[in-house]
Amino acid sequence: MNIDSIKNGYVIDHIKAGNAMIIYDALGLRELDCQVAIISNAKSKKTGKKDIIKIDENIDLDLDKLGFLDPEVTVNIVKNDEIIEKKKLSLPEKIINVAKCKNPRCITSIERDLDQIFILTDKEKQVYRCKYCESSLK
């Protein structure tokens, strides 16, 4: 199989195998007017299998959303056919408008224009809590 390299854009690497489509949908990559390649179940020395997404355009990537979806991801920034920067992501301390609070009594259920803000409260267990009502995201 041959997937061309990209000239300018991003390579989202080390995605947990099977999660590429979740990231593709969450980042709205379907709406892009450029080439996007999804490689599923690529061989990985570290984890056995991984997914990869290649985006052949410089776009505004939401790194907090990406880190929340898969904290093991690496984002390679490509310019003129060369990787100029590698970003190793981790769980963000705070996410805004990435998920919705499921507590029906939360103020965000009533105030629709209020940002959905979650704070990381347990990094080991990857637990986020609503800023307003402290309901757990999981």
Question: What percent of the chain stands above pLDDT 90?
Answer: 88
56 domain-assigned:
yes
pLDDT category of residue 45 using cuts at 50, 70 and 90: confident
In this predicted structure, the answer to whether residue 2 has a pLDDT above a threshold of 70 is no
Q: Domain range spanning residue 110?
A: 94-130
CA–CA distance, 105 with 102 (Å, rounded to integer): 9
Asked whether residue 136 is domain-assigned, the answer is no
Q: Are residues 111 and 77 in the same domain?
A: no
Cα dihedral across residues 68, 84, 8, 6: positive or negative: negative
48-65 per-position pLDDT tens digit? 999 999 999 999 999 999
The C-alpha angle with vertex 137 and arms to 88 and 46, in degrees rounded to 5, equals 30
Domain count, the chain: 2
Q: If you ran DSSP here, which 8-state letter would residue 136 be given?
A: B
**Within this chain, do residues 80 and 110 fall inside the same structural domain, yes or no?**
no
Across the range 97-124, mean pLDDT stands at 94
What pTM did the predictor assign? 0.85
Whether 36 is covered by a domain: the verdict is yes
Q: Are 27 and 83 in the same domain?
A: yes
1 in a domain, yes or no? Answer: no
Same domain, 79 and 101: no
Mean pLDDT across the chain: 93
| Residue 4 forms part of a structural domain | no
Residue 49 in contact with residue 41, Cβ under 8 Å? yes
What integer is the mean pLDDT of 16-44?
93
